[in-house]
Amino acid sequence: MLSELLLTDMHHNSGAAALPLHRRLYEGLRRAILNGHLAGGDRLPSSRELTQDLQLSRNTVMAALNQLSAEGYLVSRVGSGTFVNEQLPSPRLRGRTGRTTHAGARLSRRGTALATQFTSAELEIQPFTPGVADFSAFPVALWQRLQNKHWRMSYPDMLDYCYSGGHAPLRRAVTDYLRVSRSVPLDMDQVIITSGTQQSLELCAQMLADHGDTVWLEDPAYWGAVKAFMASGLRTHGVLVDADGMAPTAADERHAPRLIYTTPSHQYPTGAVMSLARRQQLLALAQKHQAWVLEDDYDSEFRFSGPPISSLAGLSPDERVLYLGSFSKVLYPGLKLGYLVVPKALAPAFRQAHYDLNRPGQMPLQAALAEFIELGHFASALRKARHSYAQRRQQLLDALQPCLGPHAHISGAEQGLHLCLRLPTTVDDQALALRIAQQGMTVRALSAYCLQRSDAKGLVIGYGYATLEDIAHWGPVLASTVKRALAAGRSGKKS
Ligand SMILES: Cc1ncc(COP(=O)(O)O)c(C=O)c1O
């Protein structure tokens, strides 16, 4: 029943506790619409019924309903009530913010595809949200001091666009870091500072492929990469991922790639580490098809067990690999700074195009980050984060132990901020993720990342954001919900 769902949502969503009641009700209803609990055309209980059932004032209920109507989630029909807008796309196709286009507004075919296909679902920031780091550990006061210092020192050319591919001290700091930590052979002229991985991917697609060319992606895939390639007019082709990473076959080769996008150190989202044999196969295929490999090394800073994984770029003497990194996970995503390492011969062209297309800037920010790295604060933030995530990861592994067995196992827990709980194909992982969301946690269904395949089921579970106390409390709840789903799957019943 809707009122029960809303009460649970308003009660359990601890992040919302500080919000006024009308905002909490608004968020609860909006979530119910976005996750499909309320479908387009569903009639809402009257405001009087909601007032009674939820024990809220009529003003509170009306404020929430009015806001949802103003944003297009609800429509009122005089005399018959309030309904969920039927024009909203279905939950699977709905965007990150759930925003719809203005009625009658015309999008291009590409725009429509971008707004409706393979969109990432709304991610509530609550225990187990994957891909989210613990920003509370970020040394804000220190960061502020460094920023102030560089703003005070800023002379006019620091306020200009940045022509040289990024502020030199930051490119130097990134070069030193990558040489030592990731065995990437490079000169600082090969480093281009971007506004993160999305921009790096778009630049690679624009510079190295033409409209209609094929890009291979891993299946399941990182939605951000899919979107960047769609936006650049490329054909996406999914290559199955197994326990050794991306596994191209002769059938894949019939879709000859111009670009190959891969996350070899910790496949996103399954967590598979690409084996040496596969790395060599991929590089040989890139050479054969004269394709470029885009190595997204998004979370290799956090490695907890097993031998260190070196980069693919370090294995490619013929410079077929472009290496992409980001500060989103170690520092914070809103920083919007990342880096792209391009082969020497391509560097001048990439710098020029980056300048012309993106008009990069933010040099005082880049200067502050360079100093943050040079003074050792980056290394110390990393050390602390590694220690803290290692504990959280272990606590989550312990909590999930009761649901493991012949029908469920964990992949990708050696590194990063998430792991993947693999489930049998009989389990409806999207329904399970929804049920877990209704309990106040956020996990992602593995099948939601799949391009063509339908045999990958599981849950992508993050431990970056969840505190040890959160995991101690919510871990057993998560495990028992999964256990029930497994038991129901075996008996053929709906759980
Ligand atoms: C696979 C993958 N690559 C890259 C990133 C970082 O992207 P950005 O630098 O655009 O924040 C993420 C962040 O979640 C990711 O999951």
Between the CA of 123 and the centroid of ligand 1 the distance, in Å, is: 14
pLDDT of residue 137: 80
Question: What does the pLDDT average to over 275-281?
Answer: 96
CATH number for the domain spanning 179: value is: 3.40.640.10
Between the CA of 388 and the centroid of ligand 1 the distance, in Å, is: 21
pLDDT of residue 106: 81
* Residues 6 or more apart in contact with residue 5 via CB below 8 angstroms: 28, 32, 37, 438
Ligand 1 pocket check for 218: Cβ under 6 Å:
no
Residues 240 and 371 in one domain: yes
Ligand 1 pocket check for 91: Cβ under 6 Å:
no
Ligand 1 pocket check for 28: Cβ under 6 Å:
no
pLDDT in tens, 403-453: 999 999 999 999 999 999 999 999 999 999 999 998 989 999 999 999 999
Residues 186 and 248 in one domain: yes
pLDDT of residue 18: 63
Question: What does the pLDDT average to over 25-46?
Answer: 82
Between the CA of 298 and the centroid of ligand 1 the distance, in Å, is: 6
Which residue's CA is the nearest one to ligand 1's atom 3?
298
Helical pair 2-12 and 21-34, crossing angle rounded to 10 deg: 120
Residue ending a domain, among 357, 375, 393, is: 375
Q: Is residue 53 assigned to a domain?
A: yes
Nearest residue to 462 (alpha-carbon basis) of 161, 126, 138? 126
Question: What does the pLDDT average to over 382-409?
Answer: 94
Nearest residue to 129 (alpha-carbon basis) of 397, 424, 474, 386? 474
Ligand 1 pocket check for 129: Cβ under 6 Å:
no
Which residue's CA is the nearest one to ligand 1's atom 7?
197
Ligand 1 pocket check for 222: Cβ under 6 Å:
yes
Residues 367 and 392 in one domain: no
Ligand 1 pocket check for 338: Cβ under 6 Å:
yes
Between the CA of 483 and the centroid of ligand 1 the distance, in Å, is: 31
- Which ligand 1 atom is at minimum distance from the Cα of 131? 14
Is the pLDDT assigned to residue 40 strictly greater than 70?
A: yes
Is the pLDDT assigned to residue 99 strictly greater than 60?
A: no
Which residue matches tokens 């693919």? Answer: 312
Is the pLDDT assigned to residue 291 strictly greater than 50?
A: yes
Q: Is residue 223 assigned to a domain?
A: yes
Between the CA of 328 and the centroid of ligand 1 the distance, in Å, is: 7
- φ/ψ (deg, to 5) at 326: -145, 150
- Lowest-confidence range among 102-106, 169-173, 217-221, 315-319? 102-106
Preceding peptide of 402 cis, ω within 30°? no
Is the pLDDT assigned to residue 64 strictly greater than 90?
A: no
Ligand 1 pocket check for 449: Cβ under 6 Å:
no
Which residue's CA is the nearest one to ligand 1's atom 13?
131
Highest mean predicted confidence (pLDDT) among 5-19, 95-109, 349-363, 428-442 = 349-363
pLDDT in tens, 165-186: 999 999 999 999 999 988 888 9
Q: Which two tokens stand for residue 97?
A: 């913010």
385 against 39, higher pLDDT: 385
* pLDDT level of residue 114 (50, 70, 90 thresholds): confident
Percentage of the chain lying above the pLDDT 90 cut: 63
Residues 331 and 368 in one domain: yes
Ligand 1 pocket check for 298: Cβ under 6 Å:
yes
* pLDDT level of residue 68 (50, 70, 90 thresholds): confident
Q: Strands 259-262 and 214-219: what pairing?
A: parallel
Residues 56-85: b if buried by 16+ CB within 10 A, e if exposed: beeebbebbbebbeeebbbbeeeeeebbbb
CATH number for the domain spanning 47: value is: 1.10.10.10
Is the pLDDT assigned to residue 476 strictly greater than 50?
A: yes
pLDDT of residue 104: 53
pLDDT of residue 120: 67
Between the CA of 197 and the centroid of ligand 1 the distance, in Å, is: 6
Residues 287, 281: Cα–Cα separation, whole Å: 10
- Which ligand 1 atom is at minimum distance from the Cα of 296? 3
Residues 253 and 232 in one domain: yes
Between the CA of 156 and the centroid of ligand 1 the distance, in Å, is: 32
User: How many Cβ atoms from other residues are within 10 Å of residue 224's Cβ?
Assistant: 17
Residues 276, 309: Cα–Cα separation, whole Å: 10
Domain tally, the chain: 3
pLDDT of residue 116: 80
pLDDT in tens, 240-263: 999 999 999 999 999 999 999 999
* Residues 6 or more apart in contact with residue 232 via CB below 8 angstroms: 202, 205, 206, 209, 211
Is the pLDDT assigned to residue 97 strictly greater than 60?
A: no
Ligand 1 pocket check for 196: Cβ under 6 Å:
yes
Is the pLDDT assigned to residue 95 strictly greater than 60?
A: no
Residues 263, 274: Cα–Cα separation, whole Å: 8
pLDDT in tens, 119-170: 766 556 788 999 888 888 889 999 999 999 999 987 788 999 998 999 999 9
What is the overall mean pLDDT for the chain?
Answer: 88
Which residue's CA is the nearest one to ligand 1's atom 15?
298
Ligand 1 pocket check for 326: Cβ under 6 Å:
yes
∠ at Cα 59 (53, 63), nearest 5°? Answer: 100
Residues 414 and 431 in one domain: yes
Residues 409 and 329 in one domain: no
365 against 52, higher pLDDT: 365
Q: Is residue 12 assigned to a domain?
A: yes
- Which ligand 1 atom is at minimum distance from the Cα of 198? 10
pLDDT of residue 41: 83
Q: Is residue 142 assigned to a domain?
A: no
Residues 463 and 316 in one domain: no
Which residue's CA is the nearest one to ligand 1's atom 2?
298
Residues 221 and 370 in one domain: yes
Residues 167 and 308 in one domain: yes
Between the CA of 248 and the centroid of ligand 1 the distance, in Å, is: 23
Tell me the CA end-to-end span of the chain in Å, nearest whole number: 17
- Residue to mutate, 194, 203, 268, ligand 1, most ligand atoms under 8 Å from C-beta: 268
Residue ending a domain, among 40, 68, 88, is: 88
Q: Is residue 126 assigned to a domain?
A: no
Question: What does the pLDDT average to over 191-195?
Answer: 98
CATH number for the domain spanning 421: value is: 3.90.1150.10
Residues 258 and 364 in one domain: yes
Between the CA of 326 and the centroid of ligand 1 the distance, in Å, is: 7
Q: Which domain holds residue 161?
A: 154-375
